[in-house]
A and B are shown apart, each in its own frame.
Chain A
């Protein structure tokens, strides 16, 4: 309640908008012609995507050997990117599901974009489990189906199988959630748009939405249920991803701390990505009134919180290693900090632990440029976290005879860039085709009388 009272005092949306104006403002982005800036961004993203497609098709036609991996380091960029992108996705689910259940009404300005981000991130992530296989054309063998081999099933003990299901579920739920949230706005588009094509498509997609109270009520119920379904995913997906490592016996991998550690890291990175996108979006799309410094401020605080957890996890890992008196465990962590790949480790620490500390200062939080820069740092840092966990643990493991180094090839780098290409291509299309902000929900927080009169939920 205190939260609500506080909300009463300061509106979430500034420049007290009329409901009609809200619609106009948000729909503006779709109804005007794309700006030169958008085109520039889109072409850049598209070319990156092209690069990635080329790299991947070369790898698939030639062999995994086109990557820098070797007999000791069996996973590197591929799984690093996979975990990175899955992590990015989590913020969306968190914002849309958990914050919804917690009545965090500020989320309304960002949830649409965040959910879109989730979907695109999961798409990017999904590529890697597929292409990291030596024989991707046999990927369907990962799926349990009756066959003529007597029958030969899959290995349900394998974390990779768990992954397969976790991610499939994650994508489905996120997609449904996003789509259901879109319904009222699709209706808005249908009703506003001039172009017959748009109307027809929006008409079909909006499933005959008529804005009646009953529709709204049904909608709210479904949305709430989906939020309920989505919530466990925030925890489960990255927990299962972390089991890929936690259940193995490689020092630096098999650690019970991994699930919470990974989940926190995921939200941390996701929030950073949301900030990165939102700060740009509000500027370029004149949405300053909807995505206000306050939103940024709150998300910064979330970043500090999750960043704190991540930092603590790093420390805990180290402590446990030294405390365990397991020579292999100890070695792995000392090697991370001082070994041949220590530069990656310290990049990770400085980006994820040191830099975010700046956000303790309100002045920093209110300086959007700084926040933007910091969010970029966090993104980089979180990518390196996965790289450090995967590569430094593998490259010097039990038998010194198999210790080797690892260097990525251009193909691997191109593949990573390609996924960014895919992500931004999708995102830029998204901002052109559907409202980046959930109009229906935002309207709920514009006028004060509605507020005090309880919520729709």
Chain B
């Protein structure tokens, strides 16, 4: 019962509100919010592995092979091209260019052997201590909404840690789940130490 009052003042090691700069200004609001892309389309690891994982650049390319810039910019180029009656040039948004550079693609999105391929070093937002073994799979299987732990991601321009990710936070959620069930159906969420610590 004391826990909420205590966590109101940020205790050592609690990273709630952590919102680091990312190498590419990727907007969850745009993708998950406006575009309504399901979380697991990109974070497919969530149901196959302990880590939800960060999508490989190839996953981004599924769409961004075609979508290279905001619609507005493309339209503008089309009109400009029409005015100058020339074939419209491919518009590449600056943030997306970073993606193409990482893959070593040229402006026509073809592999340019001259360009080196270098993976994108995203900054991890949700960090658990290394002695805590969290596994996404049972939570996804039980139907826990991603937002329960990650907050309203679909509204975030830049990814931010919403929950404080303390042990108490985990355990209390498990307790509640056992009482109220998840999404209507009853579940069993153990609070054994060895569920997370081994």
The answer to whether A and B touch directly, with their CB atoms under 8 angstroms apart, is yes
In the complex, how many residues of chain B place their beta carbon closer than 8 angstroms to a beta carbon of chain A? 14
Q: B85 within 8 Å of A by Cβ?
A: no
Q: A4 within 8 Å of B by Cβ?
A: no
Chain B residues positioned under 8 Å from A151 (CB to CB) = 2-3, 168
Q: Mark A134-164, 1 if CB is under 8 A from B, else 0.
A: 0000000000001111111000000000000
Chain A residues positioned under 8 Å from B11 (CB to CB) = 148
Q: Name the one of B2, B167, B172 contacting A146, with C-beta atoms under 8 angstroms.
A: B2
Q: Name the one of B14, B164, B168 contacting A149, with C-beta atoms under 8 angstroms.
A: B168
> What is the interface of chain B, defined by CB distance below 8 A to chain A?
2-3, 6-7, 11, 14, 164, 166-172
Among A147, A150, A151, the one with the most B-chain Cβ atoms within 10 Å of its Cβ is A150
Among A147, A148, A151, A152, the one with the most B-chain Cβ atoms within 10 Å of its Cβ is A148
A126 to B167 CA separation, bound complex (whole angstroms): 32
Chain A residues positioned under 8 Å from B167 (CB to CB) = 148-150, 152
A152 to B168 CA separation, bound complex (whole angstroms): 8
Is the contact region of chain B dominated by helix, strand, or loop, or is it mixed? helix
Instruction: Let me know if A150 and B6 touch, CB within 8 A.
Output: no
A148 to B167 CA separation, bound complex (whole angstroms): 7
Task: With CB as the reference atom, state the residue of chain B lying closest to A148.
Answer: B166
A148 to B166 CA separation, bound complex (whole angstroms): 6
Chain B residues positioned under 8 Å from A147 (CB to CB) = 6, 168
5 nearest A-B residue pairs (beta carbon): A150-B171, A150-B168, A146-B2, A148-B166, A149-B167
- Beyond the given A147-B168, A148-B6, A150-B169, could you list 4 further A-B residue pairs with CB under 8 A, ordered by the A residue number? A146-B2, A146-B3, A148-B14, A149-B166
A159 to B36 CA separation, bound complex (whole angstroms): 58
Chain A residues positioned under 8 Å from B171 (CB to CB) = 149-150
User: What would 6 A/B residue contacts be, using CB atoms closer than 8 Å?
Assistant: A147-B168, A148-B6, A148-B168, A149-B168, A150-B3, A150-B166
The distance from the CB of A153 to the nearest CB of chain B, in whole angstroms, is 12
The distance from the CB of A134 to the nearest CB of chain B, in whole angstroms, is 15
Chain A residues positioned under 8 Å from B166 (CB to CB) = 148-150
Task: With CB as the reference atom, state the residue of chain B lying closest to A146.
Answer: B2
Task: With CB as the reference atom, state the residue of chain A lying closest to B168.
Answer: A150
The distance from the CB of A147 to the nearest CB of chain B, in whole angstroms, is 7
Task: Please tell me the size bucket of the interface on A.
Answer: under 10
Chain B residues positioned under 8 Å from A146 (CB to CB) = 2-3, 6
A128 to B166 CA separation, bound complex (whole angstroms): 32
A147 to B172 CA separation, bound complex (whole angstroms): 13
> What is the interface of chain A, defined by CB distance below 8 A to chain B?
146-152
The distance from the CB of B9 to the nearest CB of chain A, in whole angstroms, is 11
A146 to B166 CA separation, bound complex (whole angstroms): 14
Chain B residues positioned under 8 Å from A152 (CB to CB) = 167
A148 to B168 CA separation, bound complex (whole angstroms): 5
Task: With CB as the reference atom, state the residue of chain A lying closest to B166.
Answer: A148
A341 to B38 CA separation, bound complex (whole angstroms): 71
The distance from the CB of A152 to the nearest CB of chain B, in whole angstroms, is 7
The distance from the CB of A176 to the nearest CB of chain B, in whole angstroms, is 31
Chain B residues positioned under 8 Å from A150 (CB to CB) = 3, 166-172
The distance from the CB of A454 to the nearest CB of chain B, in whole angstroms, is 55
A148 to B5 CA separation, bound complex (whole angstroms): 10
The distance from the CB of B127 to the nearest CB of chain A, in whole angstroms, is 16
A152 to B166 CA separation, bound complex (whole angstroms): 12
A146 to B172 CA separation, bound complex (whole angstroms): 15
Chain B residues positioned under 8 Å from A148 (CB to CB) = 3, 6-7, 11, 14, 164, 166-169
Chain A residues positioned under 8 Å from B7 (CB to CB) = 148
Chain A residues positioned under 8 Å from B6 (CB to CB) = 146-148
A211 to B169 CA separation, bound complex (whole angstroms): 60
Chain A residues positioned under 8 Å from B3 (CB to CB) = 146, 148, 150-151
The distance from the CB of A275 to the nearest CB of chain B, in whole angstroms, is 51
A149 to B171 CA separation, bound complex (whole angstroms): 8
The distance from the CB of B97 to the nearest CB of chain A, in whole angstroms, is 43
The distance from the CB of B6 to the nearest CB of chain A, in whole angstroms, is 6
Chain A residues positioned under 8 Å from B169 (CB to CB) = 148, 150
Chain A residues positioned under 8 Å from B14 (CB to CB) = 148
A152 to B197 CA separation, bound complex (whole angstroms): 14
Chain A residues positioned under 8 Å from B170 (CB to CB) = 150
The distance from the CB of B197 to the nearest CB of chain A, in whole angstroms, is 11
A147 to B7 CA separation, bound complex (whole angstroms): 9
The distance from the CB of A320 to the nearest CB of chain B, in whole angstroms, is 39
The distance from the CB of B177 to the nearest CB of chain A, in whole angstroms, is 14
The distance from the CB of B128 to the nearest CB of chain A, in whole angstroms, is 14
A151 to B2 CA separation, bound complex (whole angstroms): 8
A146 to B11 CA separation, bound complex (whole angstroms): 12
A421 to B172 CA separation, bound complex (whole angstroms): 50
A421 to B3 CA separation, bound complex (whole angstroms): 44
The distance from the CB of A151 to the nearest CB of chain B, in whole angstroms, is 6
Task: With CB as the reference atom, state the residue of chain A lying closest to B5.
Answer: A146
The distance from the CB of B147 to the nearest CB of chain A, in whole angstroms, is 22
A150 to B3 CA separation, bound complex (whole angstroms): 7
A147 to B167 CA separation, bound complex (whole angstroms): 10
Chain B residues positioned under 8 Å from A149 (CB to CB) = 166-168, 171
A152 to B171 CA separation, bound complex (whole angstroms): 10
Task: With CB as the reference atom, state the residue of chain B lying closest to A145.
Answer: B2
A150 to B166 CA separation, bound complex (whole angstroms): 8
The distance from the CB of A144 to the nearest CB of chain B, in whole angstroms, is 12
Task: With CB as the reference atom, state the residue of chain A lying closest to B11.
Answer: A148
Task: With CB as the reference atom, state the residue of chain A lying closest to B2.
Answer: A146
The distance from the CB of A114 to the nearest CB of chain B, in whole angstroms, is 43
The distance from the CB of B37 to the nearest CB of chain A, in whole angstroms, is 34
Chain A residues positioned under 8 Å from B168 (CB to CB) = 147-151
Chain A residues positioned under 8 Å from B164 (CB to CB) = 148
The distance from the CB of B7 to the nearest CB of chain A, in whole angstroms, is 6
A136 to B168 CA separation, bound complex (whole angstroms): 24
Chain A residues positioned under 8 Å from B2 (CB to CB) = 146, 151
